[in-house]
Amino acid sequence: MLCLKVPKQEGEKVRNKLLEEDLLFRKGKIESSEDGRFLFLPLKKPPPRRFEESGYELVEKNVEKRETLESDYTLLVDLPEHLKKYLPSSYDIIGDIALIKIPDEVEKYEREIGEAILNIHKNLVTVLKDQGVQGEFRVRDVRHVAGDKKTVTVHREYGAEFEVDVSEVYFSPRLATERWRVVKKVRKKEVLFDMFAGAGPYTVLIGRDAPVEHIYSVDLNPDAVEYLKKNVERNNLEDTVTIYEADARDVAPKIKCDRIIMNLPHSSEKFIHSALEALKDQGTIHYYEIVEESERKERLRGLLERIKRDGFEVRVQEERKVRTYSSTQVQMAYDLEVKKR
């Protein structure tokens, strides 16, 4: 079977990337090389050339089947054959909690679905039904389905730890690769502004793993700020991070920074003026947007014009489709290099 050979320390990052692009053969066991320095990630199909261009080798290898599969839970749910197609093939895992979107057609079987997931993931203790993210604070509406009745957990990502109450503060493990992409872009001595920090995944990863000078982290949701504080302390970043429970627009005039993270993708547009206000004479904005795929280019053009009207030159240094959001919408990331005229 075709495998991607990657250095062990990059294994998690590349695995997430392959999963995101639906290239990983999940039923295959991930083996390590004899000297333990490399991992072989089994592939469903040949990946785009950029993987090899990044220095990863494509190799042919015998791959054993994994004993337990994430999707295997479907085999443990006893329900009529014609309903099987409604069982979700994936779910999110945050710490020791699984969050699953359950279609109405199989709602009656939600307890069994939860039990089945707990059965195959011995490290999970709770399954919650994910009823979507809502409101200004982007909080997830969840309902207990199986296991312990709890919503607080500790999630680990790239060596950092995040305590979150998944019912009170936004957190998505699906953004792990995107966050790491941003971490690698931060340069020495930069001052950063995390405008919509939530429980602090960008703030903490950048504070731990990038040579940053200081981070200003803001959130309007008091519960998010409570967890942001806990996570800054948990990861020993008290000297690096200043936290505000506020509207990012009120903090912007008080600071001057080199790099801004704007992760409020349904309404970033409303905040671009404040972001520009907080930037030094030049800097970078990581701008996220959820947009109709068909309107993507037009929306970007509008954004760039808006920035120019505010008296800045702007260049899209990198653009990336972070994920498919719905059948017609995508979440985009734009890294904007901005310079005062």
* Chain residues that interact with ligand SAM, rule: CB under 6 A: 136-138, 170-171, 175, 196-198, 201-202, 218-221, 224, 247-248, 263-264
Q: What is the CA radius of gyration of the chain?
A: 21
Min. distance of Cβ 257 from ligand SAM in angstroms?
15
Contacts of 25 (CB under 8 A, 6+ apart): 1, 42, 43, 44, 63
Alpha-carbon gap, residue 171 to 224, rounded angstroms? 10
Q: Which is nearer to ligand SAM, 31 or 269 (CB)?
A: 269
Residue labelled with tokens 């979150």:
164
Pick the closest to residue 131 from 149, 119, 143 (CA basis): 143
Q: Which is nearer to ligand SAM, 126 or 172 (CB)?
A: 172
Min. distance of Cβ 228 from ligand SAM in angstroms?
9
Q: Which is nearer to ligand SAM, 162 or 312 (CB)?
A: 162
Q: Which is nearer to ligand SAM, 11 or 173 (CB)?
A: 173
DSSP 284-330: EEEEEEEEEGGGHHHHHHHHHHHHHHTTEEEEEEEEEEEEE-SSSEE
Q: Which is nearer to ligand SAM, 147 or 201 (CB)?
A: 201
C-alpha angle 82-88-90 in degrees, rounded to nearest 5: 150
Residue labelled with tokens 């079987």:
109
Pick the closest to residue 272 from 288, 257, 296 (CA basis): 288
- How many C-beta atoms surround the C-beta of residue 103 within 10 A? 11
Q: Which is nearer to ligand SAM, 38 or 171 (CB)?
A: 171
Amino acid 146 reads: A
Q: Which is nearer to ligand SAM, 39 or 197 (CB)?
A: 197
Min. distance of Cβ 169 from ligand SAM in angstroms?
6
C-alpha angle 140-208-281 in degrees, rounded to nearest 5: 90
Min. distance of Cβ 165 from ligand SAM in angstroms?
12
Alpha-carbon gap, residue 180 to 237, rounded angstroms? 18
Are the beta carbons of 169 and 199 closer than 8 angstroms? Answer: yes
Nearest residue to ligand SAM, by Cβ distance, number only: 198
Q: Which is nearer to ligand SAM, 113 or 333 (CB)?
A: 333
Min. distance of Cβ 250 from ligand SAM in angstroms?
8
Min. distance of Cβ 298 from ligand SAM in angstroms?
23
Q: Rounded to a whole number, what is the distance in angstroms from the first to the last CA of the chain?
A: 54
Pick the closest to residue 71 from 25, 138, 131 (CA basis): 25
Min. distance of Cβ 203 from ligand SAM in angstroms?
8
Alpha-carbon gap, residue 155 to 231, rounded angstroms? 11
Min. distance of Cβ 152 from ligand SAM in angstroms?
16
